Structure 1
Amino acid sequence: MKLHPLLIFDLDGTLVDSLPGVVLGLNAALADVALKPIDLAWVHRNVGLGARRLVAAAAGDVVSVDELLPRFRLRYREVLLDNSPPFPGVDEALRQLSLSHVLAVASNKPLAWVEDLVAHFGWSELMAAVVGPETVGVYKPDPKMLEYILRETGHTKKDTFFVGDMPVDVETGINAGIPVVGVTTGAASSEDLRQAGCTVVLESINDLVRWIG
């Protein structure tokens, strides 16, 4: 029996707008150690490579990452679910795509947070796999997350697309040998994504439904 094609999605900036929650959580952690708050534009420039790198950029030379990171994890978890809304139309798009495709999520976010968000929005039943850095021991752009999902679902690279919003997602797909669909709902521009090597760049997941046909 032939498998439905596989669509692997990044989470933050692709399916959900995580920036409001990140700003709230990081500013609460910074306040705990008497550091000045950051703004949405700063987070927009620094997201995408994992919590440790984000916190390191915020801490600078004033506070150690090992001190600030646990505070951020605690504070962010408190606001995560109520401040990471899906982009408009994403829920409907995923449900429609699930009728003709196998769906999965691969994120640099801690796996527990990814699973919580996917469950919170009722998407667990739609996903064949939900993967984070703990699953394979590395972060994107290492291709191991995508390779893990291929093994779990029994798909090949030829019947798979990876969908993401950042150049790191494009690099991950290229490293895995999987074509990448870029969406401009996150921090990167369409030009950023094209220069990174996207197969196609769309405005949103809603356009993915139309593009796939």
Structure 2
Amino acid sequence: MMSKRAVLFDFDLTLADSTLGAVECINYALEAMALPHAEPKAIRATIGFSLPATLASLTGLTDPALAQNFSLNFVKRADLRMVELTSVFPDVAQTLDQLKAAGIKTGIVSTKFRYRIETILTRAGLSEVFDVIVGGEDVMRHKPDPEGLVKALDKLGVQSGDSLYVGDHPVDAEAAAVAGIPFAAVLTGAATRNDFEPWPATMFLSSLRELAPLLRL
């Protein structure tokens, strides 16, 4: 149990289920490159990676030109379909109400584009909830680089030790560790407890409902 001034969240599979959107948009991009479709389970395990890292994980392709082609096709499809195929988890609104009532600042740090996060939140009636959102277009280096986390804390005026980062993927744990931010893994994604063994200080939540008790709220 701990006391914090700010809580930062990853977005996909932490605050919202974007699995259907990711599967459709990734397979659209692969098909546009004359590559075979990927299995939904494999795609779900990449949610949280940058788009070039996603392509590398699914196909082994690392050429920058191919990664750019993949990214452009993904974004083209995502602009049409991602919002309607993403649903915010039911525990999010109550959890954020609890944090706000306690005077705790909140933010999102994600590889997902900020404009898409904002549209999804508006659709869910949560457009004014977060104090800061740092998306993929706001940084030069994506997670596991800590740039996004550092930028969010700077905007909030909060030190790393006074914050908590909540995510679902090992890439989130790695970014938090480099930034010196305590980390809690919410097991709503594809990762299991064993996947976080390299970060032994990780705290675990089965869902966001367990966050308030962790913070003594």
2:109 aligned to which of 106, 117, 136: 106
- Post-superposition CA distance 1:80-102 (Å, at most 9, x none): 11111122322222222222111
Tell me which residue corresponds to 2:49.
49
**CA–CA separation in structure 2 for the residues paired with 1:30 and 1:195:** 32
Match for 1:109: what amino acid? K
Matched, 1:31 2:16: no
**CA–CA separation in structure 2 for the residues paired with 1:183 and 1:76:** 25
* Worse-matched range after superposition: 14-23 or 135-144: 135-144
**CA–CA separation in structure 1 for the residues paired with 2:94 and 2:207:** 13
157 and 60 in structure 1: CA distance in 2 versus 1, 3 angstrom threshold: closer
Tell me which residue corresponds to 1:152.
155
> SS at the partner of 1:182?
strand
Aligned CA RMSD, in angstroms, stands at: 2.2
TM-score, length-normalised on structure 1?
A: 0.88
Tell me which residue corresponds to 2:122.
119
Match for 1:174: what amino acid? A
Tell me which residue corresponds to 1:65.
67
- 8 Å Cα contact 2:43-2:58 kept in structure 1: no
State the 1:74 CA deviation.
0.7
> SS at the partner of 1:83?
coil
Match for 1:122: what amino acid? G
- How many residue pairs match? The answer is 210
**CA–CA separation in structure 2 for the residues paired with 1:31 and 1:122:** 34
Matched, 1:165 2:168: yes
State the 1:73 CA deviation.
0.9
> SS at the partner of 1:155?
coil
**CA–CA separation in structure 2 for the residues paired with 1:17 and 1:53:** 20
* Worse-matched range after superposition: 47-56 or 199-208: 47-56
**CA–CA separation in structure 1 for the residues paired with 2:136 and 2:201:** 23
- 8 Å Cα contact 1:55-1:65 kept in structure 2: yes
Tell me which residue corresponds to 2:200.
197
**CA–CA separation in structure 1 for the residues paired with 2:49 and 2:159:** 26
- Post-superposition CA distance 1:88-124 (Å, at most 9, x none): 3222222222221111000011232223223332323
> SS at the partner of 1:64?
helix
State the 1:146 CA deviation.
1.4
TM-score, length-normalised on structure 2?
A: 0.86
Match for 2:43: what amino acid? V
113 and 91 in structure 1: CA distance in 2 versus 1, 3 angstrom threshold: same
**CA–CA separation in structure 2 for the residues paired with 1:191 and 1:60:** 24
State the 1:171 CA deviation.
1.1
* Worse-matched range after superposition: 45-54 or 182-191: 45-54
Tell me which residue corresponds to 2:14.
14
**CA–CA separation in structure 1 for the residues paired with 2:204 and 2:195:** 10
**CA–CA separation in structure 1 for the residues paired with 2:195 and 2:173:** 10
114 and 197 in structure 1: CA distance in 2 versus 1, 3 angstrom threshold: farther
Matched, 1:130 2:130: no
**CA–CA separation in structure 2 for the residues paired with 1:60 and 1:178:** 31
> SS at the partner of 2:189?
coil
Runs of 4+ with deviation above 6 angstroms: none
Matched, 1:82 2:84: yes
Matched, 1:185 2:188: yes
